[in-house]
Amino acid sequence: MTISFDLTGKVALVTGANTGIGQAISLALAEAGADVAVAGRSEPTETLDLIEATGRKVVNIRADLGSVEPVQRVVEEALTGLGRLDVLVNNAGIIRRADLLDFSEEDWDAVTDTNLKSLFFLSQATARHMVERGSGKIINIASLLTFQGGIRVPSYAAAKSGVGGVTKAMANELAAKGVQVNAIAPGYIATNNTAALQADETRNRQIVERIPAGRWGRPEDIAGAAVFLASSASDYVTGHILAVDGGWLAR
């Protein structure tokens, strides 16, 4: 019996790969042997350099996934640049914070459009290609708020709860077609998105005190889970939400 996490010959598309979790996943996939297309709003100069240093091919796709308008173009550019798509990592996301009683429709729509609507339609467009080939892996980045409600982030909680639901819905339809769909739910990871929490002395202390591992997670803590779900080692895993949280949900 041979169990392999090797991604040699595979092609991955990762959204939101400029920094943080997306960058760490992109690099880990490349180190495992995959060529990588990265898609996002900002120029991912550092990410491109890191992937190129592994000797793998990389394609840079500029797209604002705050709407579904660029979805088909993103898939087409990835296919044109790298020839196929074996793995999709839906990592692009935003967060808006405000008290519940003051939360605006604009902030609601911005978060749900990016974190849920674009995720679904990019998955749909990629899955059409994967189904034609009879194989593929879709990995959605969920959140602890897929399971919990959070504080002052109602649209983020709604969107990430939706990511959990749509992951299972897609898995149900695509499993028999050779495509596995799973999600990773990161715990409290030290990234730009959590900078406000890290800077809040009281909230930071409360968070660390609850985490059994006793520390914030790092982007690279998520990368191993992504390589597993992208590889043949996870061929019988689908519809699953894998929490990588230092034990937060077990507390």
Sheet of strand 11-15: strand arrangement: 58-62, 35-40, 11-15, 87-90, 136-141, 179-186, 241-244
Task: Report which of 17, 60, 56 is spatially closest to residue 223, judged by C-alpha positions.
Answer: 17
Which residue of the set 44, 145, 156, 157 is catalytic? 156
Parallel, antiparallel, or unpaired for β 35-40 and 87-90? unpaired
Q: Are 34 and 230 contacting, i.e. CB atoms less than 8 angstroms apart?
A: yes
CB-based contact 17:23 (threshold 8 Å): yes
DSSP helix/strand/coil, 140: strand
The answer to whether 188 is a known catalytic residue is no
Q: What is the Cα Rg of the chain in Å?
A: 17
Give the catalytic positions in this structure. 156
